[in-house]
Structure 1
């Protein structure tokens, strides 16, 4: 079975290309979609499996508050431009293994210009936004969504709160031509069968979402709308745990193959 890690960061075990390739070969990972991470950090976080105890998105919302504080104190969000450049260079060095994202900060007035300038030097497969790193509101990103629609670029987004999840759902219905990927099943309880087929559900960092949440995603939207990821270095063995969770909710091998590779291959147009 082909495994594509649909969401990871260029730090920890993925700090440089040699680390990435070594890890991928040891863990039978075919490709990895890489985003900027904590600058120059080798740290790998061995997180507790709290989702065994806390069954809803409240766990992730609480974790979001902690993340927001850490970013506010550390100012790591100042280094997103350098992170985007680093990941692009890693992808250019190993294009058969690494696909890069562009992490955009909607709070910057010149964010579109910066992204267009970036595209003069590099390419990328996906846009990323994260409300704990840059405190934007879903009401204020339509200009980015319209850019993504025009340029046929998927948007991967980490939402901070239930209120923002509801705004996200509304936005995805306004832009059915844009592919959205919801990080970590955040707020899955708010999604029903009115949601469009342009929305996919990332299951990276399985330590933070429960089996109940994963089953809801599978029952309501099917395996063809779920994407495997690790969120490394936040967890040491997330890909294997994620696949184990898929088996736990009763997915067969064909469905697991969709989640592990075929869905993201279709979205990104890759082999």
Structure 2
């Protein structure tokens, strides 16, 4: 099974027709989707910095730029509406599109809000983003959000903003040793690769491949194993992201079994998709 493990409901993935077209063109089974720029069908061409600067990591610079753009555009205010839009897409293709619910930890009664939406939408994970919503991992709501996800057996996907946040994340991970975490874009790998992680359910997303140096990717695989790496695209931020991400996995010096794990096997296991898809099939036949 091949799964695009991280994408946004805009650009090429704005509509179900566009999503299925792109998945089918690349022999990909499914996509994990979260909100994007509402009603925007525009894609973004990004330079392959990992090829031009193989030993440099630009992610923290990009994070600072992202914070500035989000503050200027007030795009974060659209996340609730975006969550609803993602669900509307899932309803049309529940076997191909899986939702991660984007959460603002600063919201009042945030856990109640998550619980209410989960009862209606049955999403497959929680997303947090420190560049879109300004919050510390020491925020009083973070622990309850993590505990809620742990109790539901759902992963928490988090985009960290700084190296200090990566250090805080190590402490958070170790405090919640039974929860499942996905670190967006391998942010903070220089910290995680040196840390003693007591939690064995920490995974690393390789989406936004234009920014991930090969050295960083290989360090992640060497330190944590292919079973902890997830292929994603961050569509629409880049052109032909899905095609390029799949090709990059195939070019890695790994066994075919390890490549299959990165391409979708790991996420298939994390999300319990075998059981979920079997249930959907039975319901459709009734």
Instruction: Give secondary structure in 2 for the equivalent of 1:138.
Output: coil
Tell me the CA shift for residue 239 of structure 1.
2.6
Contact 2:230 2:266 in 1 (8 A): yes
Matched length: 270
Moved more, 219-228 or 109-118: 109-118
Alignment of 1:92-111 (within 5 A): 92-111=91-110
2:94 and 2:28 map into 1 onto residues whose CA distance is: 14
2:235 alignment partner in structure 1: 232
Instruction: Give secondary structure in 2 for the equivalent of 1:8.
Output: strand
1:149 alignment partner in structure 2: 150
Alignment of 1:69-88 (within 5 A): 69-88=68-87
2:254 alignment partner in structure 1: 251
Contact 2:50 2:212 in 1 (8 A): yes
2:40 and 2:248 map into 1 onto residues whose CA distance is: 29
Contact 1:57 1:189 in 2 (8 A): no
Moved more, 230-239 or 54-63: 54-63
Does residue 161 of the first structure (1) align with residue 140 of the second (2)?
A: no
2:104 and 2:32 map into 1 onto residues whose CA distance is: 19
Q: Quick one: which of 262, 267, 270 aligns to 1:267? A: 270
Does residue 29 of the first structure (1) align with residue 31 of the second (2)?
A: no
1:129 alignment partner in structure 2: 128
Unaligned stretches of 5+ residues in structure 1: none
Instruction: Give secondary structure in 1 for the equivalent of 2:46.
Output: coil
Contact 1:47 1:235 in 2 (8 A): yes
2:250 and 2:90 map into 1 onto residues whose CA distance is: 31
CA RMSD of aligned residues (A): 1.4
Runs of 4+ in 1 over 6 A off after TM superposition: none
Output the TM-score relative to the length of structure 1: 0.95
1:114 alignment partner in structure 2: 113
Contact 1:223 1:255 in 2 (8 A): yes
2:19 and 2:34 map into 1 onto residues whose CA distance is: 13
Tell me the CA shift for residue 49 of structure 1.
0.8
Contact 1:3 1:28 in 2 (8 A): yes
Output the TM-score relative to the length of structure 2: 0.91
Contact 1:51 1:59 in 2 (8 A): no
